[in-house]
Amino acid sequence: MKPDEIDAALAALAGRGLFRQRQTLESAQGANVVVGGRSRIAFASNDYLGLANHPALIAAVTRAVRHYGVGGGASHLVAGHFAPHEEAETALAGFVGREASVLFSSGYLANLAVITALAGRGDAVFGDKLNHASLNDACQLSRATFRRFRHNDLDHLAHLLSTTEAAGRLIAVDAVYSMDGDEAPLAGLLELAERFDAWLYVDDAHGFGVLGDGRGSLAEASLASPRLIGMATLGKAAGVSGAFVAADRRVCQWLVNRARSYIYTTASPPALSAAVLASLEVMRGEPWRRGHVLALASRMQRELGAAGVAVLPSRTPVQAVVLGDARRALDVAAALFDEGFQVPAIRPPTVPEGTARLRVSLSAAHSEQDVDRLIGRLAVLASP
């Protein structure tokens, strides 16, 4: 790309309904957000439990900032690993039932870390076709042979595993697919990992906090194996920022020693780890939050299905209404915005060509009335 090619490329994106613009929020996340001075019912964030603005998290951050200041100041290995980081790692590992965990400044960095630390030249990595972009980027960056299997197709994966020569193998999947809301067949994947002597790396960004009594998809499936590595982000249901990888202690030690996106980046502010500890307390103490958001999800499935709207099957807070054409998705999102709703249009390359959609994110902060109002408008605007 040369400098004078950028204008034409941007114009081409705009011509295809693929130009992206950011909305600026002027409030906290919650059932309602303020955008451009106007209040909108918010169905766009991943704040599934409504914790991003919870008083207990705000109090914990405030206390920790007074004690530790704001910036982490250095990478974890140099001088940036604080007491709240250490406590949060122990608490998170205990919460999901693993020996140890390692904190990362973001889920993207965690995915880069694990895959590049465990797979390299001569190895092979296997990823679901609908994996999150950060898993795909990590697989590319690892320099291992990268094979993608058809979405949730265990037979296709078994075929690729048996026909790909490799020193070591790693299978990487989302537990809950971020743009569809459906789930990976975790037990079948672990069986294949055992059979082909592979690691199974599970990104539970959208299940943690919501499924398995909040402990996530792997806990819900009761899976345990030394070859199983779990990751969850802390910027979604947990309401904070960052991510953690949970696994056997030796895997965590290997990441701390070898993962470049862990070693060469500044530690997240310690106050955020204090917020994570508070978030775990709220998840334990306010189970109604996950019950409520899951009930809203089944309400949405039932009502949209009855209205003939093309909602993808999902029991999770991720509810995808597929519209097909990118411009139609933009038009419907704009019409909803005018009527008081913030719902994002998700277009290629985030989703496959021809499957542009509205991605409705539900939250424990929503009331049934909020959701019913949206369902009523979708029944009109998003019908085939």
Q: Which residues bind ligand PMP (CB under 6 A)?
A: 106-108, 111, 132, 134, 174, 178, 203, 205, 233, 235, 243
C-beta of 234: minimal distance to ligand PMP in Å? 7
Supply the angle between the helices 186-195 and 154-163 in degrees, to the nearest 10: 20
Residue of 178, 261, 268, 361 marked active site: 178
In this complex, which beta carbon is closest to ligand PMP, that of residue 108 or of residue 341? 108
User: Annotated catalytic, 367?
Assistant: no
C-beta of 231: minimal distance to ligand PMP in Å? 8
Strand partners, 232: 244
Strand partners, 230: 202, 246
User: Annotated catalytic, 236?
Assistant: yes
In this complex, which beta carbon is closest to ligand PMP, that of residue 142 or of residue 178? 178
Residue of 54, 76, 81, 206 marked active site: 206
54 is in an annotated binding site: no
CA-nearest of 331, 317, 308 to 360 is 317
In this complex, which beta carbon is closest to ligand PMP, that of residue 85 or of residue 303? 85
Classify 294 in phi/psi space as left (phi over 0), alpha (psi -120 to 50) or beta.
alpha
366 is in an annotated binding site: no
| Contact yes or no for 246/93 (Cβ under 8 A) | yes
In this complex, which beta carbon is closest to ligand PMP, that of residue 12 or of residue 133? 133
Q: Nearest residue by C-beta to ligand PMP?
A: 107
Count of CA atoms in the C-beta half-sphere (13 A) of 116: 22
Task: Give DSSP secondary structure letters for 7-35.
Answer: HHHHHHHHHTT----PPPB-S-SSSEEEE
C-beta of 3: minimal distance to ligand PMP in Å? 29
| Contact yes or no for 183/138 (Cβ under 8 A) | no
Strand partners, 172: 127, 201
Give the three-class secondary structure for 163.
helix
Token pair in block for residue 5: 């090619």
Rg of the Cα trace of the chain? 21
Count of CA atoms in the C-beta half-sphere (13 A) of 139: 22
132 is in an annotated binding site: yes
CA-nearest of 224, 277, 285 to 97 is 224
266 is in an annotated binding site: no
Report the distance separating Cα 240 and Cα 233, nearest Å: 9
C-beta of 113: minimal distance to ligand PMP in Å? 12
355 is in an annotated binding site: no
Pairing of strands 38-42, 341-342: parallel
In this complex, which beta carbon is closest to ligand PMP, that of residue 108 or of residue 146? 108
20 is in an annotated binding site: yes
CB within 8 Å of 171: residues ≥ 6 apart: 125, 126, 127, 157, 161, 189, 192, 193, 198, 199, 200, 201
Strand partners, 146: 125
In this complex, which beta carbon is closest to ligand PMP, that of residue 132 or of residue 290? 132
| Contact yes or no for 97/223 (Cβ under 8 A) | no
C-beta of 328: minimal distance to ligand PMP in Å? 24
User: Annotated catalytic, 178?
Assistant: yes
Residue of 85, 236, 292, 366 marked active site: 236
C-beta of 317: minimal distance to ligand PMP in Å? 12
Binding residues for pyridoxal 5'-phosphate: 107-108, 178, 206, 233
Catalytic residues: 178, 206, 236
